[in-house]
Amino acid sequence: MPVSPKQARTLKHRSWVAFLVVPPIVFMSLFVVYPILSAFAYAFYEWRGLARGEFIGLANFREVLFGATMGPVVWNAFLHNVYALVALMIIQNGGGFFLAWLLYKEPFGFRFHRVAVFVPVVLSTIIVGFLWKLFLNPNFGIVNQALYSVGLDSLAKPWLGDSSTALGALILANAWHFIGFPTLVYLAGMQRIPSEIVEAARLDGTTEWQLLKGIVWPLVAPSTTILFTLLFIGAFNWFEIPYVMVGLDGSPFGTTDVLGLVFYRTAFGNQSASIQNFGQGSALATLLFLFIVVFASMLTLWLRRREIQF
């Protein structure tokens, strides 16, 4: 069939665009879309090791949410994820906002403090976890050693072994690791506030607190939205810090158990249980996944709307 020059051009043009677009899309389809869709499908089957068995409908979901064995474990872990989210929202994101406000004024040593607060962020979570595990060792770690050396013996504790402090210790280790991130995101947000607005407010004699509450906080709302969404996703995917610091069982007696650990134990087993259940693991992943997507989008929409109001 004869091809007109224009058609030839568009054909050539089209194949060029296709050449650009198709490989990335195929790649994403194969390694993201296909596994995620499969995860949904797998949850409806019974599994024997890595071999797929019978279609069993919602049985895996029922066991994960309400089963006598899995149900309590899952809800217990879920609660700990919620604790972590709330605590980190206050300590990590709230603390980050506060530090950003201090840095925003570019005080003496501004560059040093800015670099320092971000140092832990570039470290691997594994390094952070091991480091704090060693520091929190009840008899040899520097935390208790420091307390002993200043005479505060009564405050020294087996931090990771005491059910009243273990989860808190994990949360603080996480906050130490990541507080630099919200700090610098907020700082960037503040630095983009037109300086005339701040100047004008200052000339009007607004106090520091009014300035912060009435101008800075509303104007960095987009940062708040994105930081909260990231924290939300992170908190419900929490795995590395607990894994390294308290082990797969969420020791002591499940008081630090989180959904990430439950998922890993269920899907890949652990030494003391020997059972590996891909079906229930997939069901748990699917539920978590839906929870994250639904809540994260709702939150984003809600927080976005708030942004516009100001």
Closest approach of Cβ 136 to other proteins, in Å? 8
Q: Which of 185, 258, 261, 262 binds other proteins (CB under 8 A)?
A: 185
Which residue, 3 or 115, has its beta carbon nearer to other proteins?
115
Taken as a whole, the chain contains a residue count of 310
- Judged by CB under 8 A, which of 55, 199, 210, 301 binds other proteins? 199
How many residues touch other proteins under the rule CB under 8 A: the total is 131
Q: Does residue 1 bind other proteins (CB under 8 A)? A: no
The window from 74-82, 83-91, 275-283, 301-309 that contacts other proteins (CB under 8 A) reads 275-283
- Interaction between residue 117 and other proteins (CB under 8 A): yes
Q: What is the DSSP letter of 54?
A: E
Q: Does residue 109 belong to the site contacting other proteins (CB under 8 A)? A: yes
Q: What amino acid is encoded at 139 in this protein?
A: N
The contacts of residue 218 (CB under 8 Å, 6+ apart) are 310
Q: Helices 34-42 and 278-309 meet at what angle, rounded to 10?
A: 120
* 298 lies in the binding site for other proteins (CB under 8 A): no
Does 230 help bind other proteins (rule: CB under 8 A)? yes
Neighbouring CB atoms inside 10 A of 57's CB total 10
Q: Which residues of 187-199 are buried (b: 16+ CB within 10 A; e: fewer)?
A: bebbeeeeeeebe
State the nearest-atom distance from the C-beta of 93 to other proteins, in Å: 11
3 state SS of 163: coil
Please tell me whether residue 49 adopts helix, strand or coil conformation: coil
Among 152, 197, 273, 294, interactor with other proteins by CB under 8 A: 273
Q: Cis bond leading into 252, ω under 30°?
A: yes
Burial tier of 151 (Cβ tally within 10 Å: 0-12, 13-18, 19+): exposed
Shortest distance, CB of residue 310 to other proteins, whole angstroms?
17
The yes or no reply on residue 222 touching other proteins (CB under 8 A) is yes
Site string for other proteins, 78-97 (x = CB under 8 A): --------------------
Closest alpha carbon to 147 in 133, 135, 134: 135
d(CA 132, CA 111): 27
Q: Does 20 bind other proteins (CB under 8 A)?
A: yes
- Taking the complex as a whole, the smallest distance from the CB of residue 309 to other proteins amounts, in Å, to 19
278 binds other proteins (CB under 8 A): yes
User: Quick one: tokens of 159?
Assistant: 């931090």
* Residue whose CB is less far from other proteins, 1 or 110: 110
The least CB distance from residue 232 to other proteins, in Å, is 11
d(CA 176, CA 194): 31
Please identify, using beta-carbon distances, which residue of 62 and 113 lies nearer to other proteins: 113
Asked if residue 261 lies in contact with residue 77, where contact means CB atoms within 8 angstroms, the answer is: yes
**CB 132: neighbour CB atoms within 10 A?**
24
Cβ closer to other proteins: 1 or 51? 51
| Binders in 34-63 for other proteins, by CB under 8 A | 34-39, 42, 48-51
Residues in 134-173 at the binding interface with other proteins, rule: CB under 8 A: 134-140, 142, 144-146, 149, 156-163
131 is an interface residue for other proteins by CB under 8 A: yes
Identity (one letter) of the amino acid at 48?
R
**Rounded to the nearest whole angstrom, what is the least distance from the CB of residue 284 to other proteins in the complex?**
9
DSSP secondary-structure letter at 48?
E
Stretch that binds other proteins, among 75-83, 86-94, 102-110, 302-310 (CB under 8 A): 102-110
Structure tokens at 80: 């700990």
